Each structure stands twice: as structure tokens, then as C-alpha cells.
Amino acid sequence: MDCDRLVADTNRSPAESQAYRRSSGSLDSPVRFARLPVMASDRPKGYFTIRLAGFFFLASAVLEVATTSSEVPLLGARRGGLVAAIYHLVYAAIFAVMGAGLWRMDRWGPSAILAGTIFFSIDRFAFLLGDRTLGYEELLAFVEPEMVQTAVLAATLTAVVCWWGFAGYVLNRRDSFTN
């Protein structure tokens, strides 16, 4: 039944609708719904999610460039100056490559995600080996250092697990990357 017939069926009185259904050979259901045509899409499954993630990786690259003068926790201390600028620019380059690979859905996109995830994981584990209370001096005046260290550990491990989950998702969808 097409949409026009459904609309025509709803404009009839109940008796007319029942007579119409009897004449069309359908007594099984008092209400018939139109079957809408299925929209065929040539986009792969997960297309929107992957492109959106690519956009956010590109935005992260821009933010990394904008924060090149910010200090970073590296090798057990807060580093600034040229070291921090290089750190931010390396992350900006990684995010830009990851974002471009996802946005364009190029074949090398999943490999870029995997490489970026490995780099991020190594960086975060190196951070965990250092002083986890670094940069939280104001908070330490109110909270015990053990609580801060536990919270930082939990947040860092959660971030690493989420990155690996996303990398797994992209690798699972690697057949969608065709360019």
C-alpha cells in the first residue's frame, strides 16, 4: 500500500474503511501502515561517527597549536619553553594526521589511529611513572596526596582505555576506508 492509499484510508468512515479492506483482501489488521521505500545509502556503516571523530581530532590539533606556550608534565617535571612547544607540536601533528585520515576515510586512517593511540598510551604511562600530583599543588592544600594520585590514576587509565576502545572501533570498520 502506498502513502496516498493510507491517507485515503484514514479519510474514510470506519464502515467504509472496513469495506475497503474487505475488498482489498486484508482483514488481518484494522490499521494498515504504508511501507516507505528504503533509502539506499552508499555510505559505509559508521560513516558519520568516523567523520565526526576526524573533525574533533582536527580541532584538537588546532587547540594544541594554540597552547604551545603551556607547560606540560614530562619526565617527572613540568616543562615549559621549547620543550613544551615541541611536545604540543608533536601532538598537533599526530592529531592532524589522525583527523585527516578519519575525515577523508583514507586507507591509512586506521593505521594512523593505531599509531596515535600507541603514542598516547606510552606518553600517559610515562606520566603515571612520574609524580601524579604534579600541577595540583593548590588542590593538595585541601585534599590528601593519595586521593589526588588515585583520581589522576583512574582518569588517566580511563582515557587510555577509551582511546583503545575507539581504536578498536576504527580497526573494526577498516573496510569502510576506501580512498
User: What is the DSSP code string of 125-161?
Assistant: HHHHHS-TTTT-HHHHTTS-HHHHHHHHHHHHHHHHH
Q: Is 43 helix (H, G, I), strand (E, B) or coil?
A: coil
| Mean pLDDT across 62-84 | 88
Most confident by average pLDDT, 18-27, 135-144, 167-176: 167-176
- What would the pLDDT profile of 135-163 be if each residue is shown by its tens digit? 777 777 888 888 888 888 999 999 999 99
- Among 24-33, 84-93, 130-139, the range scoring the smallest mean pLDDT is 24-33
Q: What integer pLDDT is reported at residue 11 of this predicted model? A: 61
29-44: pLDDT as tens digits: 555 556 666 565 677 7
Residues 6+ away with beta carbon under 8 Å from 89: 64, 65, 68
CA distance 55 to 72: 24
pLDDT for residue 146: 85
pTM of the model: 0.70
Q: Hey, which of 33-47, 75-89, 107-121 has the most confident mean pLDDT?
A: 107-121
Instruction: Identify the residue whose cell numbers are 588515585.
Output: 150
pLDDT score of 103 more than 90? yes
Q: How high is the mean pLDDT of the chain?
A: 82
Q: Does 115 have pLDDT greater than 70?
A: yes
Instruction: Assign 175 a pLDDT band (cuts: 50, 70, 90).
Output: confident
Q: Stretch 64-89: mean pLDDT, rounded?
A: 88
CB-based contact 116:97 (threshold 8 Å): yes
Bigger pLDDT: 177 or 51? Answer: 51
